[in-house]
């Protein structure tokens, strides 16, 4: 499967075209909208989220509730577009070109590098596309992937582990409990003691005109053994997951399983011992590998973490340079969020769900769900007996 997205933050809409989704997969628009609503929540979002109420429209590839095998086009309209029509118009509009022109790049944003690379004197032409608004439609794509995964009993959850210097205490809970409890938390965090501290840190940052980053974790359960492959670099699923998570706006690092902690552990304390029982076949005593060895799934939960840097738009801006005068100036201020880590955890779930769904489609014949369901069933019976 593959997908592309298009659209600007304040343009008329965001669009995704997905190709390769098997036919006869039931698609619930409501379930896609639920994911879009999850992404819009979270303590620390700015005023834009009060304007938007993201809803998907499917304009191709699905008929009467089922995929047809044709490319699926997802559209999410920007309500804020009504305020930006002249400024963002595809047709020339007299006087509108100079309005909201951005000439003072924000440190940490794509503004300056993009403007130089694409020969733009208005950095709005860069920031509109590099904006994390684009994650809306990636969450919609992920919601389609989740519906494919659900057909095979594969489930995805996520949580926030850290915001700024507030670190959540690890809690060993089932995936069901994790999903239910993080949904109730304004910062998507399981640790009830860390939660108010995270919220207070966000409030303080907002007051100070500052922004905060953090760490999110995604867990996928029910994955068969052997998705991905060891035979070629670009087929290794851990590598693909890392790219998917790293490609989320403002992400600066990715870990799988214990990740960087592995550097400080001897092999005897790191690797997960292999066990076997008659009912379920092979399994592991622990899951420090995060469900991936040799670029392939082990059958244990896939665990991926990502770190998000603080958003570059600051209400008390850092110093920058005006590209017209070359004089030092405060960076431009755009309306923004003070912390989007809880929302980013939903985005991370979406991109991970997509990669796992894609790996399922590579492993099993996937023209139609009919083929795929039968093949997955046979493969699971085989792995249990192996």
Name the residues that contact ligand EPS, by CB under 6 A. 9, 46, 48, 52, 80, 131-133, 136, 313, 334-337
Nearest in space to 87 (alpha carbons), one of 78, 77, 79, 97: 97
Q: Which is nearer to ligand EPS, 333 or 373 (CB)?
A: 333
Give me the least distance between CB of 359 and ligand EPS, in Å please. 27
Q: With the C-alpha atoms ordered 254, 124, 85, 91, is the resulting torsion angle positive or negative?
A: negative
CB of 67 to ligand EPS, least distance (A): 26
CB nearer to ligand EPS: pick between 151 and 246: 246
Asked whether 54 and 40 are in contact (CB, 8 A), the reply is yes
**Shorter beta-carbon distance to ligand EPS: residue 133 or 240:** 133
* Cα gap 7→141, rounded to integer Å: 14
CB 199 within 8 A of CB 186: yes
| CA angle, 161 then 163 then 168, to 5° | 35
Nearest distance in Å: CB 72, ligand EPS: 21
Question: Which DSSP string do the residues of 303-369 spell out, in sequence order?
Answer: EEEEEEPPPS--SSPPEEE-TTT--EEEPP-----S--HHHHHHHHHHHHHHHHHHHHHHHS--SBH
Distance CA 94, CA 97 (A): 7
Min CB(135)–ligand EPS separation in Å: 6
Q: Which residues sit opposite 90 in a β-bridge?
A: none
Query: Based on CB atoms, which residue is closest to ligand EPS, 52 or 122?
Result: 52
Query: For ligand EPS, which is the closer residue by CB, 51 or 270?
Result: 51
Query: Rounded to the nearest whole angstrom, what is the least distance from the CB of residue 141 to ligand EPS in the complex?
Result: 15
Q: Compute the least distance from the CB of residue 346 to ligand EPS, in Å.
A: 10
> Please, where are the H alpha helices in the chain?
29-40, 48-51, 111-117, 124-130, 135-150, 175-184, 194-207, 237-246, 267-270, 341-363, 369-385
Minimum CB distance to ligand EPS smaller for 80 or for 97: 80
**Between 17 and 87, whose beta carbon lies closer to ligand EPS?**
87
**Pairwise CA distance, residues 346 & 352, whole Å:** 10
Question: What is the rounded CA–CA span in Å between residue 46 and residue 248?
Answer: 19
Only one residue has tokens 């690890």, namely 170
Q: Cβ closer to ligand EPS: 128 or 195?
A: 128
Angle at 313 between CA 309 and CA 316, to 5 degrees: 115
**Minimum CB–partner distance for residue 5 and ligand EPS (Å):** 13
Could you tell me whether strands 155-163 and 302-308 are parallel, antiparallel, or unpaired per DSSP bridges?
unpaired
CB of residue 335 vs ligand EPS: minimum separation in angstroms?
Answer: 3
- Select from 173, 253, 248 the least CA-distant residue to 215: 253
Contacts of residue 128, Cβ cutoff 8 Å, sequence gap at least 6: 8, 9, 10, 11, 88
Q: How far is the CB of 133 from ligand EPS (least distance, A)?
A: 4
Q: Which of residues 9 and 332 has its CB atom nearest to ligand EPS in the complex?
A: 9
């Amino acid at each position: 499967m593959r997908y592309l997205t298009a659209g600007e933050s304040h343009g008329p809409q965001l669009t995704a075209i997905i190709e390769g989704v098997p036919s006869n997969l039931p698609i619930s628009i409501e379930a896609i909208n639920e994911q879009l609503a999850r992404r819009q929540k979270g303590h620390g979002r700015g005023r834009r989220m009060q304007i938007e109420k993201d809803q998907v429209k499917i304009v191709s590839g699905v008929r009467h509730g089922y995929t047809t095998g044709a490319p699926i086009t997802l559209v999410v309209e920007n309500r804020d577009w009504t305020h930006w029509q002249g400024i963002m118009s595809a047709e020339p509009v007299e006087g509108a070109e100079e309005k909201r022109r951005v000439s003072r790049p924000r440190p940490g944003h794509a503004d300056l590098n993009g403007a130089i690379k694409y020969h733009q004197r208005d950095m709005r032409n860069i920031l509109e596309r590099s904006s994390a608004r684009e994650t809306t439609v990636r969450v919609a794509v992920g919601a389609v992937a989740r519906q494919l995964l659900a057909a095979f009993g594969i489930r995805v959850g996520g949580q926030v582990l850290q915001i700024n210097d507030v670190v959540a205490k690890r809690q060993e809970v089932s995936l069901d409990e994790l999903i239910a409890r993080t949904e109730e938390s304004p910062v998507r965090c399981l640790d009830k003691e860390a939660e108010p501290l995270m919220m207070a840190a966000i409030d303080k940052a907002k007051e100070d005109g500052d922004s905060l980053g953090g760490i999110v974790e995604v867990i996928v359960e029910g994955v068969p053994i052997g998705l991905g492959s060891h035979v070629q670099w670009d087929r290794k699923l851990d590598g693909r997951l890392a790219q998917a998570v790293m490609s989320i706006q403002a992400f600066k690092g990715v870990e799988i399983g214990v990740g960087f902690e592995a550097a400080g552990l001897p092999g005897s304390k790191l690797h997960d011992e292999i066990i076997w029982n008659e009912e379920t076949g092979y399994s592991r005593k622990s899951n420090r590998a995060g469900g991936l060895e040799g670029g392939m799934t082990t059958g244990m939960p896939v665990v991926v973490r990502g770190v998000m840097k603080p958003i570059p738009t600051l209400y008390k801006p850092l110093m920058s340079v005006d590209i017209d005068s070359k004089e030092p100036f405060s960076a431009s201020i755009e309306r923004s969020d003070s912390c989007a880590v809880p929302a980013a955890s939903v985005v991370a779930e979406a991109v991970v769900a997509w990669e796992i769904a894609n790996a399922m489609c590579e492993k099993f014949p996937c023209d139609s769900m009919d083929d795929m369901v039968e093949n997955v069933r046979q493969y699971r019976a085989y792995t249990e007996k192996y």
